[in-house]
Amino acid sequence: MFDPVCPSPLVPFRVGDKWATLILRCLQDGPRRFSELRVPLRGVTAKSLTQSLRGLERDGFVVREEYEGRRVEYALTPLGRGLLVPLDTACEWTREHWDELIDAQEAGLSATDH
């Protein structure tokens, strides 16, 4: 899922911007630091990560907590945690219909090639 060559862009569901769902998923097991998020989200630039986090924060899905020193943690709010529920439904549907999705897409693509 976090692999740069993963086909997740094929998934018809998106939440917010490109990285938002992945960030929510990264936070589901507890708060994470900025640099801890950059590891699983391979390929995300600092700018994009900041942008997405600011968006999620502005919309109340994530809180930014600054501790002593420069330590900063991002955590889900109750609202953000709630958002994971329908997101999981969507992910599960996608997994269940993955083969159909791929087949339909390949059929659609080969229909325009010729």
Partner DNA sequence: AGGGCTGGTTTCCCATTGGATACCGCCTTA
Partner DNA sequence: TAAGGCGGTATCCAATGGGAAACCAGCCCT
- Pick out residues in 57-86 that bind a second copy (CB under 8 A): 57-61, 77, 79, 82-83, 85-86
Among the listed ranges 8-16, 32-40, 41-49, 65-73, the one in contact with a second copy (CB under 8 A) is 8-16
104 binds a second copy (CB under 8 A): yes
**How far apart are the C-alpha atoms of 25 and 12, rounded to whole Å?**
17
56 binds DNA (CB under 7 A): no
CA distances to 7, 23, 27, 68 from 33, in Å: 26, 11, 10, 13
* Beta sheet of 32-33, edge-to-edge order: 32-33, 72-76, 62-66
**How far apart are the C-alpha atoms of 72 and 83, rounded to whole Å?**
23
One residue of 25, 31, 34, 57 binding DNA per CB under 7 A: 34
One residue of 11, 15, 72, 75 binding DNA per CB under 7 A: 72
Name the minimum Å distance from CB 64 to a second copy. 11
